[in-house]
């Protein structure tokens, strides 16, 4: 299944009868780096024969693994054929780095992975990649769940990104590395580590890449240490769409804050020298560098790609002249390091080794049950979570953090105040907790929820970010990998939607695709839902939560009151810390400063309970809370729906009494946990009622109530089920919002059957 590029390599090398004096680029030709390409030697580039041989070995192995991928697919044993052929010069970057430098790689990084594995004794890149290609449970990174480049012992963090959605994570990790020392945060990598990430030229145009590169440039402009090496592998084509000539170089050269360097993939000595210089610059200066590597794409985009549908045969064959494997063989021959026969023999030896290794790995054991596939998403550590959720900083530390005035001694708190106190407790207990987002530092957040945290804990732990949610979440992803427990804030729920793939495609998948070996536990605070008075429109009153409930493994909770919030904050932080869970706390903006359930009663404030007094039941995503002791109707709700339902119950009782009737005796059940829903607890509570009314402030289609009703039906609940929801509408500005949002009158009518 190797085809023309295999034949071309052998024919080209066998044609060399004498000593070669140059590389594939003619002497004097200007390369991407802007320098003249000349015959390579140690004196010119500082590249030793041994290093050039290491490069060739990694490139050979990567190429034959690409051949094996297509052979295995033809045999029905392989399931992935996007290869690295033509990109193998990226192995030079791996050889310039240390195996302890974190690498977040895109899918054409086979040469890099083979070179990185060659730096670590006992590693077996061929077995790793073959097992990944065949979805073997023995795959050392994903356990058979996907074809990814990754290995914890090689510090290669698995990415499935086909575009550039991993670049914000790389930015976040580089940003976090140099913040560890002053804060005393432990880390899995050395203090002078460099983070490297790779992407293709077509992905440079993606908004995710543009946002991350812009954020990196601004950090560098501000003088913030950022040891980030971005490798752009430029083959000039994105599947079938040509990148305009010169566009990628012009774009990358113009990036503010970056040092730009370039290397020609057909000049292996230049690649090795430029990569070494770039890595050293990043490592010593702690400033970002972008390395623009010219490559070609050989054998098409993937095994199913018919290149002749969009490229001419002449164009395809012209790329053979830029084969980096031929270029490295040419350099070795020119230096008289290996003869023609030795080059061909080594090429065939690696082919045989890969083929033999593939045969020895058969038959492949694969995941054979849903439980096995989902294990990284379902593994739990309940004892550790319970202990962590009830842990507290020493008394002296708490008093210092709160300025000598503990919140439990301050009287009843609002929801916003209770979240602030819980975050303070959390930061006093764990030095690795960092809080960041738009306006969270000096301003203390738009609604004051983070007010005072920067003064208490300093600018290294509480800081403002760019107004870019992809960057905010990417910073959290990378910071978690660097040893921090990030608490990013998304200012409004509607703002999350332009960045939700950072949670879906990156954050929540890391444990899945690494078989639990890597994790990025975090607590994301999202300010949202509706019912703000005198302010809003759809950007500030968004009630769309479907995307968050649809992410496997993500924990989503919503506090309805000051009494609930601190326990949820600490429980979710415990999940993030102990189980590397991605947790989202959806905070109802309209309830932040609410004090009353009924006018003047102060019932929606609550005294603050210090951590050691918190019950362990609050640390389980599976236990709701009840209000009232009625036995006729169970109202199932959350967030704003809790106080609305309690007021509606009281109003229904008054209305029924005025008409000489009795209202149904009602208990209000606060779900608290929206994903996963507390199904078992809900079913147990519902069995004591003949009727369940689901009160859902989100939309009728795709809202929370759909999941609740389904859970009740699937669980065998035999009583009557009904629901009231907001409309399937974007929320308008002003009084018209009430026409599409769930109202207390809707709840009253549902309780009384619309008869009064």
- Tokens found for residue 496: 């999350």
- Contact residues for 341 (Cβ-Cβ < 8 A; gap 6+): none
d(CA 467, CA 169): 17
Q: How far is CA 383 from CA 522, 557, 616, 619, 673, in A?
A: 19, 20, 10, 10, 19
**Tokens 């689901």 sit at which residue?**
694
φ/ψ bin of 236: left (φ > 0), alpha (ψ from -120 to 50), beta (otherwise): left
669 DSSP β-pair partners: 626, 636
Active-site position among 146, 540, 616, 627:
540
H or E element at residue 481: helix 469-481
87 is catalytic: no
Give the helix/strand (H/E) hosting 664: none
Q: Which residues pair with 157 in a beta bridge?
A: 104
> How many beta carbons lie within 10 A of that of residue 682, not counting itself?
24
Backbone φ and ψ for 103, nearest 5 degrees, come out as -125, 130
In three-state secondary structure terms, 483 is coil
Residue that is written with structure tokens 């050691």 in the block: 612
For 552, phi then psi, to 5°, come to -60, 135
Q: Do 66 and 325 touch, CB atoms closer than 8 A? A: no
Q: Which of 556, 511, 554 is nearest to 529 (CA)?
A: 556
Question: How far, in Å, are 215, 251, 257 from residue 226 at the CA level?
Answer: 11, 20, 10
Q: At what angle do helices 340-360 and 4-14 cross, to 10 degrees?
A: 150
Q: In 3-state terms, what secondary structure has residue 268?
A: helix
Rg (CA), the chain: 30
Name the residues annotated as catalytic. Answer: 540
């Amino acid at each position: 299944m190797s085809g023309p590029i295999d034949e071309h390599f052998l024919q080209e090398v066998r044609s060399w009868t004498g000593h070669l004096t140059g590389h594939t680029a003619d002497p004097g030709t200007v390369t991407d780096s802007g320098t003249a390409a000349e015959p390579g030697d140690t004196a010119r580039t500082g590249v030793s024969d041994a290093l050039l041989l290491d490069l060739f070995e990694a490139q050979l192995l990567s190429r034959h693994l690409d051949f094996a991928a297509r052979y295995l697919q033809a045999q029905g044993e392989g399931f992935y054929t996007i290869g690295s052929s033509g990109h193998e010069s990226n192995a030079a970057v791996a050889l310039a780095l240390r195996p302890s430098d974190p690498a977040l790689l895109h899918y054409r990084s086979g040469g890099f992975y083979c070179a990185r594995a060659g730096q670590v004794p006992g590693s077996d890149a061929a077995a790793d990649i073959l097992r990944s290609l065949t979805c073997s449970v023995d795959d050392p990174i994903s356990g058979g769940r996907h074809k990814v480049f990754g290995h914890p012992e090689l510090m290669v963090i698995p990415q499935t990104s086909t575009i550039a959605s991993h670049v914000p994570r790389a930015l976040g990790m580089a940003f976090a590395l140099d913040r560890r020392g002053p804060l005393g945060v432990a880390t899995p990598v050395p203090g002078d580590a460099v983070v490297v990430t790779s992407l293709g030229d077509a992905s440079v145009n993606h908004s995710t890449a543009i946002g991350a590169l812009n954020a990196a440039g601004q950090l560098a402009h501000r003088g913030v240490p950022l040891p980030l090496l971005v490798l752009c592998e430029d083959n000039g084509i994105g599947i079938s769409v040509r990148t305009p000539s010169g566009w990628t170089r012009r774009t990358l050269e113009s990036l503010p804050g970056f040092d730009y360097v370039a290397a020609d993939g057909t000049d292996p000595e230049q690649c090795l020298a430029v990569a070494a210089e770039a890595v050293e610059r990043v490592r010593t200066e702690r400033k970002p560098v972008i390395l623009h590597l010219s490559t070609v794409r050989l054998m098409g985009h993937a095994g199913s790609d018919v290149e002749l549908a969009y490229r001419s045969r002449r164009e395809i064959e012209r790329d053979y002249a830029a084969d980096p494997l031929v270029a490295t063989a040419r350099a070795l021959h020119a230096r008289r390091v290996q003869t023609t026969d030795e080059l061909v023999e080594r090429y065939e030896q690696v082919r045989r080794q890969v083929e033999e290794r593939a045969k020895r790995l058969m038959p492949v054991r694969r995941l054979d049950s849903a439980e096995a596939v989902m294990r990284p998403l379902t593994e739990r550590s309940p004892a550790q979570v319970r202990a962590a959720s009830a842990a507290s900083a020493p008394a002296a530390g708490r008093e210092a953090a709160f300025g000598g005035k503990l919140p439990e001694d301050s009287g009843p708190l609002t929801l916003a105040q209770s979240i602030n106190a819980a975050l303070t407790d959390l930061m006093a207990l764990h030095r690795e907790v960092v809080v960041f987002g738009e306006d969270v530092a000096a301003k203390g957040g738009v609604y004051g929820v983070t007010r005072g945290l920067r003064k208490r804990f300093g600018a290294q732990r509480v800081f403002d970010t760019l107004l870019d949610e992809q960057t905010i979440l990417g910073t959290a992803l990378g910071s978690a990998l660097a040893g921090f427990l990030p608490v990013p804030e998304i200012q409004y729920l509607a703002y999350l939607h332009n960045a939700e793939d950072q949670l879906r495609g990156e954050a929540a998948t890391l444990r899945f695709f690494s078989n639990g070996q890597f994790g990025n536990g975090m607590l994301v605070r999202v300010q949202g839902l509706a019912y703000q008075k005198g302010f809003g429109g759809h950007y500030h009153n968004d009630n769309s939560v479907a995307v968050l409930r649809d992410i496997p493994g993500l924990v989503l909770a919503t506090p309805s009151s000051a009494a609930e919030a601190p326990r949820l904050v600490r429980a979710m932080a415990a999940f993030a810390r102990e189980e590397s869970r991605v947790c989202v706390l959806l905070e109802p903006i309209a309830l932040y400063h609410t004090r009353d359930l009924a006018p003047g009663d102060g019932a929606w404030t609550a005294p603050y309970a210090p951590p050691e007094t918190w019950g362990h039941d609050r640390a389980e995503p599976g236990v709701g809370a009840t209000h009232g002791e009625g036995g006729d109707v169970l109202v199932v709700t959350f967030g704003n729906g809790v106080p609305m339902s309690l007021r509606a119950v009281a109003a229904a009782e008054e209305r029924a009494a005025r008409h000489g009737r009795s209202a149904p005796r009602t208990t209000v059940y606060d779900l608290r946990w929206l994903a996963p829903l507390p199904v078992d607890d809900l079913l147990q509570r519902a069995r004591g009622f003949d009727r369940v009314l689901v009160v859902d402030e989100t939309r009728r289609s795709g809202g929370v109530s759909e999941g609740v009703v389904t859970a009740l039906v699937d669980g065998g609940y035999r009583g009557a089920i009904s629901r009231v929801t907001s409309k399937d509408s974007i929320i308008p500005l002003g009084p018209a919002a009430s026409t599409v949002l769930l109202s207390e009158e809707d709840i009253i009518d549902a309780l009384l059957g619309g008869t009064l």
